[in-house]
Copies of this chain bind each other. A is one copy, B any other.
Amino acid sequence: MTTISTLQPLALRDAVIADGFWAPRRETVRAHTIPQQEHQLRTGGQFEALRLAWRPGDPGEPHIFWESDIGKWIEAASYTLATHPDPDLEASVDEAIDLLRGAQQPDGYLNTYFTVVKPGERFTDLRDAHELYCLGHLIEGAVAHFDATGSTSFLDIVRRYADLVVREFGPGGSCEGGYDGHQEIELALVKLSRATGDARYVELAKRMIDARGTQPYYFEAELERRGTPGYFSREFRNREQQAERFREYNQSHLPVREQSEIVGHSVRAMYMLIAMADLAVDTDDPGLLSACERLWESMVGGKMYVTGGLGSDPSIEGFSAPFDLPNYTGYGETCAAIGLVMWAQRMANITRDGRYADVLERALYNGVLAGASSDGVCYFYGNPLASAGDVHRHEWFGVACCPPNLARLLASLQTYAYAQGDDELAVHLYIGGSVTTTAGGGATVDVATALPADGRVALTFRDVQADAAWTLALRVPAWSATTSVRVNGEEIALAEVVRDGYARLTREWAEGDVVELSFDDAPFRVRADPRVAADAGRVALQRGPLVHCLEGVDLDGVPAHSIVLPREAALVVEEGPVAGVHAIAADARRVEPLADGQLYSTEDPRLQPQWIRAIPYFAWANRGQSTMAVWLPER
């Protein structure tokens, strides 16, 4: 008997985004980001490499990550194709799939690097070579392509490869007990299992998750089998210390069910936790869910930036000690925030607890969205919360995980806004548009809102099929200090209907019913726990889900970090310096520089009034390089 149930995301076509905030951004992804990325893949060698024509000594050696770039790009493209037919894009996707088919080996294997650069070495460097990680992204792309188009052209390819992996990593296989150094294959196998109904894939995912961190450590045995001592960095005292760090780095230091502190590479952690949440449901495994909940607490209690960014140690692209959240040197990889959105979605749907969607929203509107420029063609890999003016977005990266990751998330954003069960439709995110649910027999709900610019939301029912009571579960965001709900004009006593952060309205919904929500959209101050040294004595400014920041370009040459915010300063919403988004304005003070050549002073600081207009964090770095600060000293 199943003890763990979950709400389900809606199909791509059953939720429509048609608002003033996300719709234009998603159109930018469709019209600019996806084509720009296709251009990068065609000119960067990724497509070409699949012809397997590279020979030792040739320029343009294939990179171990390249199949993952293609997989994520096909995934993003497929999501847009589901709702926005585009014959040219479809032809490009088909071309990529044909190339992948051509590169597939007779036994199903499909990895350019280990076919032409390191033949004969497949599956011998699981810790670092990202082979199964690449397969995972191909699978995710294939499942998305199948969902969007109904075609199995890509799915058939990845199934043949996945079947090989099932043999090699299953009982008696050459890699029995193995798992990848970069988690991803596990969550992908769950998706493949769900798409095909083939239980072998979910079983393999479970085996890999359960094997992780058990002794003898797979990666160390693998190193011995390779007969090489491997890379050794002098930053470590000895090889054992290095091995320990590597274990934590890829979360193989302990069996996953015994892990209680979130550590290591942030994206690896997120992808692992997504798989653990999925497997908790699909294999009915409360132990995996408990581990997820424990590691969630560890993350949100001390290791998450206010933007939902993850990872404060650039040297491992990952987590450091609790409360160590430096703003200038923080990492906050775009991919990690994306992974967090995906994990939070699973946790929200399983637990029906609003705090997961609160974090989903925080990461989405801040840590994720900052990852791309406003024109959708330049990207941040890391997302610091303060800058001395020395960083900017790039068109592409040697390791280009973030750009297509961002594209696939935004292209499928509608599936994150809602979830449904037999008699429940949950609204996690308020985004103008509509949603067609099967809950309670079926209905369509039109959602009208100008969020995040305005706190009001109206949901109107139409095409209602049922005549029994069912539940509309409306998330009450943590950022809304006061919230009111009216049904057909009648105020609802929130205390009576809110449970775990959702207002649960159960009734026989009828044609034309209107639910009106009013959230508090006034700007407010946020403070960090005093154990976060980097934010001591500082406040961040937030409005709705949007964390704001000061950018030097708006301060007439004054660096953002020389602004202090009086405690009594009122925060007002003002037309901002960035078109289309509001600013939080306030009567702040700038500290005047000392005399030239003087670095320290015993004088009181010289303060001058300075009207500041803090822009949403996601919008920063779109107007040239500039100083930036999220956390402002308070005075």
Contacts and interface: CB of A to CB of B under 8 A. Distances in A.
A507 interface: no
A492 interface: no
Interface stretch (A12-20, A63-71, A196-204, A524-532): A524-532
A127 interface: no
Interface in A583-622: 590-594, 596-605
B536 A562 contact: yes
For the complex formed by this chain, how many copies does it contain in all?
2
A85 interface: no
Contacts of A600: 306, 526-529, 540
Contact of A329 (B329, B530, B536, B602): B329
A467 interface: no
A481 interface: yes
Interface stretch (A97-105, A256-264, A295-303, A363-371): A295-303
A530 B561 contact: yes
A321 interface: yes
A304 B597 contact: no
A559 interface: yes
Output the residue of A532, A538, A629 with the most chain B CB within 10 A. A532
Interface in A499-539: 524-533, 536-538
A558 to B, nearest CB: 9
Interface in A295-337: 297, 300-302, 304, 306, 321, 323-324, 326, 328-329
Interface in A386-416: 386, 388, 390
A635 interface: yes
A525 B602 contact: yes
A44 interface: no
Contacts of A301: 596-599
A466 B633 CA distance: 60
Given A321-B388, A388-B324, A561-B533, A601 B329 contact: no
A598 B529 contact: yes
B597 A300 contact: yes
Given A326-B329, A537-B635, A304 B599 contact: yes
Contacts of A357: none
A189 interface: no
